[in-house]
Amino acid sequence: MLQDITADMFTRIRNAAAAKHGRCVVPCNGVNLGILKVIKDSGYIKDFQRIDFKTIKVTLKYFYGENVIRSIDRISKPSLRIYKKAKAIKPYMRGLGMYIVSTNRGIISDTKARTLNLGGEIIGSLT
């Protein structure tokens, strides 16, 4: 049985990007849909589409043959949750990447969390 569906999604996207695939299929749940919405709004993927209640098809984005997603990592794990206050969330890689933050208003990027003065769980990082 799969323990961490979000880490599995990150790994599938990372592997598809390394293999230069155009799309990948990831497991579906509410958290993954929220994360993919933030990633799409930030311009790291082209699109995602829910196929059925179990799977999502993610279309990766390339720029001059290079993948836009250089690294995608899980920070807060089921065994060790990482929470930060709004003032403690610093720009990831001096603004070249982003953190994905789960707040009481939903899953948002680190820049939006700082502007709304919201803290929360740091789900992952993306460059």
pLDDT digit string (tens) for 84-117?
A: 999 999 999 988 999 999 999 999 999 999 999 9
- 82: pLDDT strictly greater than 90: yes
Say whether pLDDT at 2 is over 80: no
Confidence of residue 55 (pLDDT cuts 50, 70, 90): very high
Same domain, residue pair 15 and 56: yes
pLDDT, residue 95, reads 85
Structural domain for 110, as ranges: 72-126
Are 16 and 52 part of one and the same domain? Answer: yes
Do 29 and 50 lie in one domain? The reply is yes
Residue 41 C-beta-side C-alpha neighbours within 13 Å: 14
Question: How far apart are the C-alpha atoms of 13 and 24, rounded to whole Å?
Answer: 7
Phi first, then psi: give them for residue 99, nearest 5 degrees. -95, 150
Residue recorded with tokens 């089921």: 78
Q: What is the mean pLDDT of the chain?
A: 95
Residues 90 and 60 in one domain: no
Residues 43 and 78 in one domain: no
Same domain for 81 and 53: no
